[in-house]
Amino acid sequence: MASVSDKNTSYLNLSDSNYEFENPLLFWFFLIFDIPAVFCSLFSLYHLLIERSLREALHNHTTIIILLFNLVYQLVDIPLHLQYFKTGIIRPTNSTLCLFWLFIDYGFYFINLVVLMWASFERHILIFHSSMMATQRKRFFIHYVPLFIIVSFLLIFYGIAIFSPPCQNTFDFTKDLCGMAGCYGSIPSFALIERIAFAIIPMFLIIIFNIGLLVRIVWQKQKKLAVNLVSISLVYLCFDGPLTMINLVRLCGKSNWASDPWSIFFYISYFPILLLPMVCLGSSSELRNKLIPFHSRQHQRVAVLATAHHT
């Protein structure tokens, strides 16, 4: 997901790009991926929250947070895109809808990215320094407090930046995401915090922490707690990485670099939201084991119905 400061410069109007995606293609593309994403999110969250052993496992807490924000994204943000792709206009045409849409689209996306950065660091503690989480007091300060601070800070930041900015928002109801830019992107302090602290730094730290984790796991032959996190991280790195690289190059002085292919990278950056639930389900042995009995029951039910039909 690109920062608003990027969108305020060279690619506010995606429809003017030489790389424009046709709305019908985007509609079906988002719809086909969003439906299974919602079901996988609900299935994973149900078991992670209902079953005590999974709910109390510290390594599952960041996954739960990411899946919760992702689910809201899938149920609110993606359908709004679908509605625009279908009709070519934002409905209802009011600024309140646009503000909440921007809040979810940017705020929730970057919350997930920063939480993933913390999870990549914390996984080293959980695997190799578990004694640091041995007592309730240690878990409170090392595990719960950082997560609370991260989520609270980003919610407050985007609450102020989008709902109470020191500038005037202007929306275009004929463009996707209401023109795709909040005015806070024109304020240097807000733009730099978002671009550097929420995008570039987390992306590079995710790479560093996960490479370090893989090296240590290969050396010590431990992998169970790392597979899920590394899989999630790879999804973000593959599909959000190009926009992060554009941000980095532009910070180095080339302000209009890669303007033409930006619309491609923008919509590609939604892949983590759409693929993450399937990746979580497939890479977590606990959740995968919950899916197997469900799948077996479905086959048994089909077999029983087939037998009854033939008799």
* Sign of the CA dihedral with 22 first, then 27, 32, and 34 last: positive
Instruction: Kindly state the average pLDDT of the residues 91-109.
Output: 94
Query: For position 37, which CATH number holds?
Result: 1.20.1070.10
Give the range of the structural domain holding residue 138, as residue numbers without chain letter: 4-310
pLDDT tens, 163-203? Answer: 999 999 989 999 999 987 789 988 999 999 999 999 999 99
Query: What is the pLDDT of the chain when averaged over all its residues?
Result: 85
pLDDT tens, 204-255? Answer: 999 999 999 988 886 665 576 688 899 999 999 999 998 888 878 878 877 7
Which of residues 292 and 13 earns the better pLDDT score? 292
pLDDT at 290: 83
Instruction: Kindly state the average pLDDT of the residues 61-70.
Output: 97
Q: Are 89 and 175 in contact (CB under 8 A)?
A: no
pLDDT at 308: 45
* Number of domains forming the structure of the chain: 1
pLDDT at 171: 92
pLDDT band for position 1 (50/70/90)? low
Q: pLDDT at residue 71 above 90?
A: yes
| Token pair for 252 | 């180095």
Against a cut of 0.95, is the pTM above it? no
pLDDT at 13: 44
pLDDT tens, 106-139? Answer: 999 999 999 999 999 999 999 899 999 999 999 9
Q: Are 200 and 247 in contact (CB under 8 A)?
A: yes
Distance CA 73, CA 179 (A): 19
| Token pair for 277 | 């639930």
Instruction: Kindly state the average pLDDT of the residues 3-29.
Output: 58
Non-local (6+) Cβ contacts of 54 within 8 A are 47, 48, 60, 286
Non-local (6+) Cβ contacts of 66 within 8 A are 112, 115, 116, 119, 232, 276
Q: pLDDT at residue 153 above 70?
A: yes
Q: pLDDT at residue 20 above 70?
A: no
Which of residues 290 and 301 earns the better pLDDT score? 290
